[in-house]
């Protein structure tokens, strides 16, 4: 098991340095506002209807904004940042950067540029830790083939890191989260459940092999999103802070459809189910369920721990893709060729509203 001290030693001195996760009230996408709170905050804000070249704005709770520049080129813009989900500052940077770039890929786009967003509690974290954080983010951007061209930093009470990410896409290849059609199959590219691992890490109960699986999953770029914008792929989103159920509900609302999900088909990261059964969970899972549980039908016999895996926040998780039956084989082929070994069909889109979960 990984140790869980409140302090580690600074790399350059004998000064005790607090664990990154001990400096934040939440971690990763679990520190997002609950869906119901966010909906209340955004209620009544005017839609951007006066801008005809704004192809995707805030009206469908999509992953990024898309603005048409020419008939053949559109700009994809997003920002994402959060508090630490792990204690290693380099890995924190890698995870946060991977998560931010995922929004570009989820729209079918290709990243071109990033700006760093940094908030650090100066005096509590050493210079080397901050440098390692920035280096981790830059390493992921290099792997994606883009520069970190600047950014902004503040002295904050909690450690925060993320990116402003810009990308491009052909307007005809944009994939919103609202385009699903009746009869579409739902493909999930990564296994759940990262934030159960993060909770176990904070408690010193995360096995080494699970930690390695967590890092591998959260730093795997969702670049396959730009490869699966062919015919028959109707909608796409990435699964993050609202959990699989929450982001699936956004897809259902946008399309005016319902979803039927087979819970046993949903892939989970190795060891996640055992940790959940042992009672390890995040508070954000409960907030998520309270926000949208009235729109979800669950089997009577479904245990609470399994429900938790479905609504637990995910940090830098996979893509959820709605594709016509004839396109599913190609989607799975691209995903598995790109290294998404756990990619699986987890449900279908149907007439109606809400989500029905079956065994």
Domain interval for residue 61: 7-172
Q: Given this model, what pLDDT does residue 278 score?
A: 93
Q: For position 129, which CATH number holds?
A: 3.30.1330.10
DSSP H helical segments within the chain, as ranges? 35-42, 89-106, 127-143, 194-202, 208-218, 243-255, 272-277, 283-292, 304-311, 325-337
Is the same domain home to 285 and 338? Answer: yes
Is the same domain home to 116 and 223? Answer: no
Kind of pairing between the strands at 7-9 and 16-18: antiparallel
Confidence of residue 283 (pLDDT cuts 50, 70, 90): confident
Residue 59 has pLDDT above 60, yes or no: yes
Annotated active-site residue 252? The verdict is no
The DSSP output letter for 353 is S
pLDDT tens for each residue of 95-135: 999 999 999 999 999 999 999 999 999 888 888 999 999 99
Contacts of 272 (CB under 8 A, 6+ apart): 191, 192, 193, 196, 197, 210, 309
Residue 16 has pLDDT above 90, yes or no: no
Contacts of 321 (CB under 8 A, 6+ apart): 186, 187, 188, 189, 228, 233, 235, 236, 331
Is the same domain home to 111 and 191? Answer: no
Given the residues 29, 31, 252, 311, the one annotated as active site: 29
Contact between 312 and 272 (Cβ < 8 Å):
no
Is the same domain home to 320 and 188? Answer: yes
Give the residue with greater pLDDT, 263 vs 322. 322
Of the ranges 23-27, 261-265, 323-327, the best mean pLDDT one: 323-327
Number of domains present in the structure of the chain? 2
Q: Given this model, what pLDDT does residue 19 score?
A: 78
Is the same domain home to 130 and 268? Answer: no
Across the range 154-167, mean pLDDT stands at 95
Is the same domain home to 166 and 182? Answer: no
- Average pLDDT taken over every residue of the chain: 89
The C-alpha atoms of residue 310 and residue 342 are separated, in whole angstroms, by 16
The C-alpha atoms of residue 34 and residue 271 are separated, in whole angstroms, by 26
The C-alpha atoms of residue 322 and residue 328 are separated, in whole angstroms, by 9
Query: The whole model's pTM is what?
Result: 0.88
The C-alpha atoms of residue 161 and residue 158 are separated, in whole angstroms, by 10
Is the same domain home to 181 and 122? Answer: no
Q: Which of 48-62, 201-215, 252-266 has the lowest mean pLDDT?
A: 48-62
The C-alpha atoms of residue 66 and residue 107 are separated, in whole angstroms, by 8
Residue 316 has pLDDT above 50, yes or no: yes
Contact between 163 and 79 (Cβ < 8 Å):
yes
Across the range 149-158, mean pLDDT stands at 94
Confidence of residue 5 (pLDDT cuts 50, 70, 90): very low
């Amino acid at each position: 098991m990984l140790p869980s001290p409140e302090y580690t030693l600074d790399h350059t001195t004998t000064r005790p340095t607090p664990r990154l996760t001990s400096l934040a009230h939440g971690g990763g996408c679990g520190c997002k506002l609950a869906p119901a709170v966010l909906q209340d905050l955004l209620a009544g804000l005017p839609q951007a209807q006066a801008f005809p070249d704004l192809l995707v704005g805030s009206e469908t709770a999509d992953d990024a904004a898309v603005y048409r520049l020419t008939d053949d080129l559109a700009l994809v813009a997003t920002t994402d940042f959060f508090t630490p989900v792990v204690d290693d500052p380099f890995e924190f940077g890698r995870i946060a950067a991977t998560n931010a770039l995922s929004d570009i890929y989820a729209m079918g786009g290709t990243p071109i540029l990033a700006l760093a967003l940094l908030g650090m509690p100066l005096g509590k974290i050493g210079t080397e830790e901050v440098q390692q954080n920035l280096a981790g983010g830059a390493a992921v951007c290099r792997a994606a083939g883009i520069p970190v061209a600047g950014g902004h930093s503040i002295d904050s009470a909690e450690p925060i890191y993320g990116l402003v990410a810009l990308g491009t896409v052909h307007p005809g290849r944009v994939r919103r989260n609202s385009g699903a059609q009746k009869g579409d199959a739902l493909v999930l590219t990564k296994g759940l459940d990262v934030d159960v691992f993060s909770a176990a890490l904070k408690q010193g109960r995360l096995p080494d092999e699970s930690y390695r699986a967590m890092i591998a999953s959260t730093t795997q770029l969702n670049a396959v999103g730009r490869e699966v914008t062919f015919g028959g792929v109707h909608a796409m989103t990435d699964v993050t802070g609202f959990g699989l159920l929450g982001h699936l509900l956004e897809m259902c609302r946008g399309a005016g459809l319902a979803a039927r999900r087979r819970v046993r088909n949903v892939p989970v990261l190795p060891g996640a189910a055992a940790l959940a059964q042992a009672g390890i969970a995040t508070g954000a899972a409960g907030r998520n369920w309270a926000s949208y549980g009235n729109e979800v039908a669950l089997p009577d016999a479904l245990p609470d721990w399994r429900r938790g895996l479905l609504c637990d926040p995910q940090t830098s998780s996979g893509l959820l893709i709605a594709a016509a039956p004839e396109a599913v084989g190609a989607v799975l082929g691209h995903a598995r060729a790109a290294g998404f070994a756990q990619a699986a069909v987890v449900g279908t889109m149907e007439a109606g509203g809400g989500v029905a979960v079956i065994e």
